[in-house]
Structure 1
Amino acid sequence: MAIISSNGFTRRGLLGAFAATAIVAAPAFTATAGYLKGAGDIRRIRMYSGRTGESIDTIYWVEGEYIPEVLKEINHFMRDWRNSKTFRMDPRNFDVMAAAHRLMDVNEPYMLLSGYRSPETNAMLRSKSGGVAKNSLHMKGQAADLRLKSRSVGQMARAAKTCSGGGVGTYSRSNFVHMDCGPVRTWGG
Structure 2
Amino acid sequence: MTETKTGKAGLSRRGLLGAFAATAVTAAPTYSQAAGFLRGAGDVRRIRMYNGRTGERLDSIYWIEGEYLGEVMNEINAFMRDWRTGSQITIDTRTVDIAAAAHRLLEVDEPYMLLSGYRSPQTNAMLRRNSSGVASNSLHMRGQAADLRLQSRSMSQLADAATACRSGGVGRYSGSNFVHVDCGAVRNWGS
TM-score (norm. length: structure 1): 0.86
Going from structure 1 to structure 2, the CA distance change for 1:38 and 1:153 (only over 3 Å counts) comes to: closer
- C-alpha distance in 2 between matches for 1:170 and 1:73: 27
- Please say if 1:66 is aligned against 2:68: yes
Amino acid aligned to 1:39 = L
- CA distance in structure 1 between the partners assigned to 2:166 and 2:88 by the alignment: 27
Cα deviation, residue 37, structure 1: 4.0
In the alignment, which residue of structure 1 is the partner of 2:86? Answer: 84
1:98-137 to 2 correspondence within 5 Å? 98-137=100-139
Q: Please give the alpha-carbon distance, in whole angstroms, between the structure 1 residues aligned to 2:88 and 2:123.
A: 12
Unaligned runs of 5+ in 2: 28-32
For these two proteins, the number of residue pairs brought into alignment is 173
Alignment match, 2:38:
39
Give the letter for the 2:139 counterpart.
L
Q: Select the structure of larger CA radius of gyration.
A: 1
Paired with 1:92 and 1:25, the residues of 2 have a C-alpha distance of 23
Structure 1 residue ranges without an equivalent (≥5): 1-13
Shift of 1:173: 1.3
Distance 1:87 1:104, change over 3 A: same
Residue 22 in structure 1 maps to residue 9 in structure 2 = yes
Aligned counterparts of 1:48 and 1:181: Cα–Cα separation in 2: 21
Identity %: 61
Q: Supply the distance in 1 between the matched residues of 2:34 and 2:46 (Cα, whole angstroms).
A: 15
What TM-score do the two structures reach when normalised by structure 2? 0.85
Q: Structure 1 pair 36/87, CA: closer, same or farther in 2 (3 Å)?
A: same
**Conserved? CA contact 2:120–2:141, under 8 Å:** yes
Alignment of structure 1 residues 132-143 onto 2, 5 Å: 132-143=134-145
1:52 aligns with 2:54: yes
Rounded Cα–Cα distance in structure 2 between residues aligned with 1:130 and 1:124: 11
Q: CA deviation at 1:38?
A: 4.7
User: What is the rounded CA distance, in whole Å, between the counterparts of 2:158 and 2:36 in structure 1?
Assistant: 22
Q: Structure 1: how far apart are the matches of 2:36 and 2:98? A: 13
Structure 2 vs 1, CA of residues 39 and 60 (structure 1 numbering), >3 Å: closer, same or farther? same
Q: 3-state DSSP class of the match of 1:72?
A: helix
- With 29-38 and 58-67 compared, the bigger mean Cα shift is at 29-38
Cα drift, residue 23 of structure 1: 1.9
Deviates further, 48-57 or 31-40? 31-40
What is the Cα deviation at residue 24 of structure 1? 2.9
Seen in structure 2, the aligned counterparts of structure 1 residues 38 and 129 have a Cα distance that, compared at 3 Å, is: closer
